[in-house]
Structure 1
Amino acid sequence: MTASVLRTQLSGVSRRPGRLLTTGLSVLVAAFVVFGTVLAYVIVTRTTLDTFSETPEAVSLVVYAAGGEPLNPEQVAEVRGTAGVRQAAGRVTATFTVGDASSGNELELIADPGSGPLSRITLLSGGYPRSDREIAMDRRAAARLGTTVGGTLRLHTGDRSGKPVTVTVTGVVDGPRDAAERAYAHDEAVARISGNPGFPRVDVLAADGADVQSMMNGWSERLLHDPRAYISVTTGEAMRVREAHDAVRQLDQVFALVAMFVAIAVVAAALVATSTFRIVFAQRLRQLALLRTIGAQRNQLILALAVEGAVTGLVTGAVGVVLAQLAGLAAPAVAAASGRTLTGPGVPLVAAVAVVAGAGLLTAGAVLAPAFAAAGVAPLQALRAASTLAAERGVAAPRLVAGLLLVAATGGLGWRTAGRMGSSDALIHLVGVGALGFGALIVLGPVLIRPILAVAGWPLRRLGSTGNLAVSGIGGTPRRAAAVSVVVALGVTMLAGTVVGISSLRLWTDREMAARTPADLAMFAESPDGLDEVMAGVRADPRFRDVTPFRMADFTALSGNFSHGAIAIDMAAMPALRRLEAATGNIAALGPGTVILSAVAASDFGARVGDVVTLRSDGAARVEVVAILTGDAPLRMGAVLTSADLDALGNSSAGFLADVATGTRNEALAEFRRLSGPAGAEVAVLADERDKADGEVSSLFAAALGLLGLTVLIAVVGVGTTTGLSVLERTQEFGLARALGLTRARLRMMVGLEAGLYGLIGAVLGVVLGVPMAWLTLESLRLDLPLTFPVGWLTTIVVAIAGITVLAGLLPARRAARVSPVAALAID
């Protein structure tokens, strides 16, 4: 009998392959996403291993400090003097600030021989440096800093006590593409400019016929005697492979994060599959009842339905894997058409089989609950008209009690998590809160549907009979609506939490950038002589706005233990400065005899609002603290003073800020430099750092939205599938509505509105769950980000999800409208 029941169920599947794909569409999408992620990892890994290396191909040996002190000059000289060494190049990177020590542009000075097989750059103009105070600029850095061959730059090491180094630009080169601004010089020149004579590594080119292994053995014996350093020697090929694998290991962290989002998408697919099979089995209750009447046992039906689910999962999983494989094989060709190089993924059979098997197991597990429910229906009840089975009873008391217990557990664990802020296990607690909260949402979903529908459906009822029918269609099947909406809520919960977190991060970044880079451009001068004329010219130029002067000086606390910078500037003059906030006190209270301290300076001095502190430089200023900022003072200073109090400190420098009003930044920058300034004056493009920070936040936001889009995609597939199956189930209902005068257009609108209500209800539930979770995460992990409630973004998410689900219901709506009333009423 079991075999007969299995044949009966599987024959129905084989006769309707289109229905099979529709039923398992969410599993197909999940399999495509999972296997696509595997292929993406393989492609990126292979491409990185094939193409990535910072070590030139010509390098024969690499001597490097694996830990401790870098190679000292004597060790480097010994390497260079070894028989068989044709060329040796020390590798070191030093970071400097160009212009003002506090707010200038950062420049990386990299050691490179400049020519020959060990060089990584190409000379474009001028000549490569020959002396200690000469450098060659990367062309991007030269354009950004307004430097030409023959120009000079003032480099600061970041140490306030150290004097700046003036270097001459002898050439412009083309180096590895990178966002950083770079310059190049010979290794010994870089060491002298930076003041650090050691080298982390030395690349060696061996002469033709040299015994490389003997050279390695000799260096290992002679260089390992230094107890302060851990010197290692390896071949250039081994170093290239190691660098590639290190790059791949960094990608592992990225793909681990991607895997977490993919796992959430798989959970969504399982929920969608469960909801879909519940509808499919409900449509076949008569068939199941007939099997019961001729002797089929309940456990036999459950087994048959589970096998049907597993077959559906295997077939749709295989289709998803094949589609992902085709996309992976096409990726190198697509990349080549756009000028990029990718290594093909091959055909990872083990991963493919694992994904298909996982799809079968996932669907078999998802089908169990609907199978138990369908197989447990009494034959006489199942033999009634299908229309009488569409109605659903309310939530049973045990389910209601279980849901309330989950709510209580969520609240209790959330309270406990908030009380363990900053602890190492806070993240585990957060995962538990999220799991319990979502479990409560699943259990209590049918109860929550009706109040949300009453509010969300009120505008639709104003549309007349079409809106009333749409709202009634959702309200009449609260369990089905809850099952579909919960999947949407899962994606929206993650979206809403991400939006709140990113909005908080953006607000914090804006405040930080307001202090560090309060303007687009800045001019720094050691002396104020002649600065007023330049500033007047900038103010008269319509390309600039908000031109604001400032003066700066260094100071220490009375004890002399901490050194900071002080600035005198109009805090209300620049729009960015008006975004600064005080942790305590009032910024507007700044006046003669008072000071605003940065958070770091206040901590170093142990000062609070109302305290009197003494700032000492060549002179001294005794001032009262009226405010302590949440971060830095303008231009990364430690204090804001009035001009009179800054004068009391003694020696000071001057400058002014300006924003770009019209035209491009590069055009404004060229004009800014053309106006020149006092002797020794330098220009800094402060907006570059702000753009970089904004770009990082925007990239993070885009990546998060892209990954969370996987879950939303599966949720939308679930809405479309549920709506499509609902159309098949309600053919007679639609036929009757058409016979009573409902037009095709209104019927299409009704079905589309029902699909939109699934999305709207899920979006509302997701926002209600996601926003508190985001706030709890920010507080418990002590991320020190301001809590925000981005109403605009959250509203956009809700409206967008509702609109997308309406679109998902368009195809089922067209199918429903095509059926004639006579044919629909004749269908049993």
Structure 2
Amino acid sequence: MNPATGSLLAETRRTPGRVVLTGLAILIATTFAAGTLLLTDALRTELTRDAVRTPEAAAFVVRGPADLARIRATPGVTDAVEVRSAFLSVRGQGTWSLESDPLTGPLTRLPALAAGRLPTGPGEALLGAATAQRTHLAPGARLTIGERSVTVTGIATLPGEGQNTLVTTPDLLAALGGELDQVDVAGTPDPAALTGPGLTVRTGAAQRTDEAEGASATVTAVLAGVSVFVGLALVAAVVVVASTFRIVLSRRRTQLALLRCVGATRAQVTRAVLAEAAVTGLVAGVGGVALATGLGAVLTAVIPNAPALVIPWAAFAGCVALAVVATLAAAAIPAIAAGRIPPVAALGTAGAADAGPPRKAPRIVLASLFALVAGGGGVLGARIGGDPVVGIALVAVSGLAAFAALIALGPLIVGLLARTLGRLGNLSAAGRMAVANARQVPRRTAATITVLALGVGLTSALLVGIAGVSAEADRSIAEHFPSAVVVQGADAAAAARLAADPTLLVRPGAGRADSPPGQGTNGTTPDQAAPGTTAPDGTAPDRVLVDPAPGTGDQALRVAVDRALGPDTGALVTYTADLRDQVRNALDVSRAVGFGLVGMTLLVAVVGVGVTLALSVAERTRETGLLRAVGLTRGGVRAMVGAEAAFAGAAAAVLGAVIGGGYGLLALAAMDLRTTPPIPWPELAALLVDVVVVAALAAVIPAARAARTPPTAALAEL
């Protein structure tokens, strides 16, 4: 170990808090990455368990037009059952998923009952637990499916119950029109004896493996999406750490120069700084993995029926290694700059590492190159057509290039903003000093702004994207379901009964022009259908559109429709409000998940604001002491630091909202939506205010520390 490395590592041991503070952003990003790995393993375990539906007792699976009687008569077969499924309309409840099960025996797929009893007679079925909770149905309830009445005898917890689900016998489901998916076969038959024309025979083990791999593929796709946000959080952390390293090395300029005086070479100083960065990354990586494991253990203990926590040690080692590499990458340029410090600098006082104007020409050239990539990718992604996934991927690549251009131009933008604000005559003293500080160290301020702008941009893009998709969904629902209730497949008598109800407004669906839109039916008699509710040949139209008459509430509307259609109707009834609620619930879930993922990047950015200000306050002890000596109060110091944070937050909010909103519109264009995307101005305005407030809150502790600086501190730094 060279003397320079030993000296810097000894300094690290004396001030461990500096290591933690410098690597805090890396720690958060590593926690996010390790937590994602834990979540992925838990999700894979859970989905695999739910996805493997073929029973362990099934030695073979037969697919195709199988003859159950022939299979049961095959030598070696001890049991065989049909597996059927269907999506059928349940009167007054929409479309449900129906599954078959033998209910008893080794080939049952049914878990233990939660309530009630197993079906024992014809026309009986089990209700999924989640379905019972959504529909408020209980054992004893009667449902009408097509022309048959089905009685619920019990409730069972079913895997993957995303849609309302009933479980009944294969015979009843066959009578209802359910399709044959496969035949599960138990025993030790000769596979050749099970084959036949159009049949496929495979082992039960192979079928279970395929079911498990399908679930794993879903988890892999989820991980790929989440990994994008992990990468963005890591990029934000690298920007923050690079800025903090520049500040830390600026404070230690004299120490590094003294090392050069006693014989340390440039290469030795650079390697020493990189060694310190490696230690910082190692501590942050191990801390992030430990924190993620602890949080996972707590969640596993708190959440009922949570899968066991499986720790992927190899992947965690990769997280730690990635933290070290990311920290080394962040420290590379500051380390090279530290190696260039001349020995004569030991005779002077260190200045800010980021002080002074940035070099314009290289930054403009680099930003222009990134801007060309961003522009080309954005235009190509918005106009590619055909595959929206490819288009959105191109838009995402364009966004990363735009962010890189913002990093390159950041110091120049900060200088321009500082000069513009400096010309305003109504700034307070604290505001003028904050603007002057930002102008003095543009690279440091730019690092804070760009990492905040990344988080704001992601959030803005998500807000615009959700608003556009929501508007498109509303347009599609309004186009295909232009009334409160849409009845498909109703016979002429049912259509006449609907038209005769004075609480309903009935008209034919699209494709019929017999009745003007919105024509009412009040005053008709039960044996007189309203005009336009029958075709010229006396049959019912393909669709009947039903709206409530004035004064008719939603519940009364549903009761009236059910009464008019009767218990034995084969019509498919869709309540538009329910469909719209389902879409909005799905969008709400997407919004929550998206904000959760984007929130990690924002968290790294806010931590970066706090860390940068904390180190900046420590670096400017002499300056703050001088300000206190000439009369600046503690409150004035706090206001100055808070104004710096607010300046960074406001600049990042505006830049992020403009860039992110634009890329949200580009992503919607790549999806080729038919609706003109609305701009969610209230949400974007609230985001801008929140970012400024959060940035100011991140400055509370650094501002309090700066305010405690005594005037004598200036003399101590001389």
Moved more, 248-257 or 671-680: 671-680
Matched position secondary structure for 2:356: coil
The corresponding residue for 2:508 is: 551
The CA deviation string for residues 407-426 of structure 1, in whole angstroms up to 9 with x for no partner, is: 34433454455554447965
Q: C-alpha distance in 2, partners of 1:820/1:567?
A: 88
In the alignment, what sits opposite 2:371? 407
* CA displacement 1:717-760 (0-9 Å, x = unmatched): 11111000011011122222223333323322321221232222
Distance 1:202 1:388 in 2: 76
Q: Distance in 2 between matches of 1:5 and 1:718?
A: 28
Cα distance change of structure 1 residues 62 and 748 upon mapping to structure 2, 3 Å threshold: farther
Aligned counterpart, 1:498 = 462
Aligned-partner Cα distance in 1 for 2:575–2:606? 46
Aligned to 2:16: 17
Q: Give distance in 2, aligned partners of 1:705 and 1:244.
A: 30
Say whether the 8 Å CA contact 2:143–2:151 is kept in structure 1. no
- How big is the shift at 1:368? 1.1
Q: Which whole-Å deviations, capped at 9, do the CAs of 1:150-186 have from their partners, x for residues lacking one?
A: 956353xxxxxxxxxx112233431344242233432
SS across alignment from 1:742: coil
Residue of structure 2 equivalent to 1:173: 154
Deviations 1:384-404 (A, max 9, x none): 333587741243323333333
CA distance in 1, matches of 2:50, 2:469: 35
Partner of 2:525: none
Partner residue of 2:415? 450
For residues 305 and 696 of structure 2, the distance between their equivalents in structure 1, rounded to whole angstroms, comes to 38
Q: 1:453 to 1:783 in 2, by over 3 A?
A: farther
Q: Which residue of 2 aligns with 1:468?
A: 432
The letter of the residue matching 1:551 is P
Partner residue in 1 for 2:523: none
Contact 2:138 2:154 in 1 (8 A): no
Number of the residue aligned with 2:110: 120
- Give 1:304 deviation, angstroms: 1.4
Where does the alignment leave 5 or more consecutive residues of structure 1 unmatched?
156-165, 207-211, 537-546, 556-564, 574-641
CA distance, structure 2, for counterparts of residue 680 and residue 50 of structure 1: 39
User: 1:820 is matched by which residue type in structure 2?
Assistant: P
TM-score by length of 2: 0.86
Match of 1:81 among 73, 85, 93: 73
Amino acid at match of 1:441: L
Q: Which residue of 2 aligns with 1:71?
A: 65
| CA positional deviation for 1:301 | 1.5
Q: Percent identity?
A: 32
Quickly say closer, same or farther: Cα 1:90–1:646, change in 2 above 3 A.
closer
CA–CA separation in structure 2 for the residues paired with 1:645 and 1:46 = 53
- What amino acid sits opposite 1:78 in the alignment? R
Give 2:96's match in structure 1, choosing from 103, 107, 116: 107
* Higher strand proportion: 1
Out of 497, 502, 509, which is 1:535 matched to? 502
Distance 1:492 1:123 in 2: 46
The 5-angstrom pairing of residues 334-373 of structure 1 reads 334-335=302-303, 339-346=304-311, 348-373=312-337
User: Are 1:570 and 2:517 an aligned pair?
Assistant: yes
Query: Is the 1:492–1:766 Cα contact (8 Å) retained in structure 2?
Result: yes
In structure 2, do the counterparts of structure 1 residues 189 and 570 end up closer, same or farther at CA, with 3 Å as the change threshold? Answer: same
Per-residue CA deviation, residues 329-376 of structure 1 (Å, 9 max, x unaligned), is 3332222xxx22321224x33223322222222211211111222332
Range 793-802 or range 645-654, more displaced: 645-654
| Residue pair 1:150, 1:168 contacting (<8 A) in 2 also | no
Deviations 1:107-152 (A, max 9, x none): 2232223455526275966984755xx3536274798498996956
Aligned residue in 2 for 1:40: 39
**Alignment CA distance shift 1:659-1:333 (3 Å):** farther
Helix, strand or coil at the partner of 1:200: strand
> Partner amino acid for 2:307?
L
Amino acid at match of 1:186: T
Contact 1:519 1:658 in 2 (8 A): no
Structure 1 partner of 2:224:
256
Instruction: State the match for 2:144 in structure 1.
Output: 153
Alignment counterpart, residue 437 of structure 1, candidates 402, 415, 425: 402
Distance 1:392 1:365 in 2: 24
**Distance across 2 between alignment mates of 1:234 and 1:794:** 54
Matches within 5 A, 1:741-760: 741-760=631-650
Report the residue type matching 1:15 in the other structure.
R
Cα distance in 1, alignment partners of residues 714 and 556 from structure 2: 71
Could you tell me how far 1:49 is from its partner in structure 2?
Answer: 4.8
C-alpha distance in 1 between matches for 2:628 and 2:674: 59
Q: Deviations over 1:271-295 (max 9, x none)?
A: 1111111111111222222223333
Pair 1:759–1:23, CA change in 2 (3 A): same
Q: Is the alpha carbon distance of 1:183 and 1:426 closer, same or farther for their aligned partners in structure 2, counting shifts above 3 Å? A: closer
| 1:445 shift after superposition | 0.9
Which amino acid is 1:11 matched to? A
Q: What does residue 91 of structure 1 align with?
A: 83
How far residue 521 of structure 1 moved from its aligned partner, in angstroms, is 5.3
1:253-307, Cα deviation, whole Å (9 max, x unpaired): 1112111211111111111111111111111222222223333322222121111
CA contact (8 A) 2:80 2:183 kept: yes
Compared CA separation, residues 145 and 520, structure 1 to 2 (3 A): farther
Contact 1:135 1:183 (C-alpha < 8 Å) held by counterparts: no
Letter in 2 for 1:174: I
Cα deviation, 1:526-545, whole Å, max 9, x if unaligned, reads: 44555466433xxxxxxxxx
Q: Distance in 1 between matches of 2:74 and 2:568?
A: 46
2:540 maps to 652
Partner letter of residue 175 of structure 1?
A: A
Q: 5+ unaligned residues in a row in structure 2: which ranges?
A: 521-529
Moved more, 732-741 or 425-434: 425-434
| 8 A Cα contact 1:62 1:201, kept in partner | no
C-alpha distance in 2, partners of 1:265/1:45? Answer: 24
Amino acid at match of 1:433: S
Name which of 237, 250, 270 aligns with 1:269.
Answer: 237
1:713 paired residue among 600, 603, 608? 603
Checking the alignment, whether the CA contact within 8 Å between 2:286 and 2:320 is kept in structure 1 is yes
Note if 1:826 corresponds to 2:708: no
Q: For 1:61, give the aligned amino acid.
A: A
Question: What TM-score results when the alignment is normalised by the length of structure 1?
Answer: 0.75
1:798 deviates by 2.1
Q: Retained in 2: the 8 A contact 1:129–1:170?
A: no
CA 1:123–1:91: 2 relative to 1, 3 Å: farther
State the alpha-carbon separation in 1 of the partners of residues 211 and 14 from structure 2: 55
One-letter identity of the residue aligned with 1:728: A
Report the counterpart of residue 600 of structure 1 in structure 2.
Answer: none
Q: Choose 116-125 or 141-150, whichever is displaced more.
A: 141-150
- Distance between the aligned counterparts of 2:399 and 2:153, measured in 1? 55
Equivalent position amino acid for 1:747 in 2: V
Aligned-pair CA distance for 1:427: 5.5
Change (3 A) 1:686 1:266: same
Say whether the 8 Å CA contact 1:523–1:657 is kept in structure 2.
no
Q: What corresponds to 1:5 in structure 2?
A: 4
Aligned to 2:169: 186
Q: Distance in 1 between the 2:335 and 2:580 partners? A: 57
Q: After alignment, is 373-382 or 276-285 more displaced? A: 373-382
Aligned to 1:541: none
Q: What do the CA deviations read for 1:314-335 (whole angstroms, capped 9, x no partner)?
A: 1222222222222233332222
**Correspondence for 1:224:** 195
CA–CA separation in structure 2 for the residues paired with 1:41 and 1:388: 44
- Say whether the 8 Å CA contact 1:534–1:675 is kept in structure 2: no
Residue aligned with 2:677, SS: coil
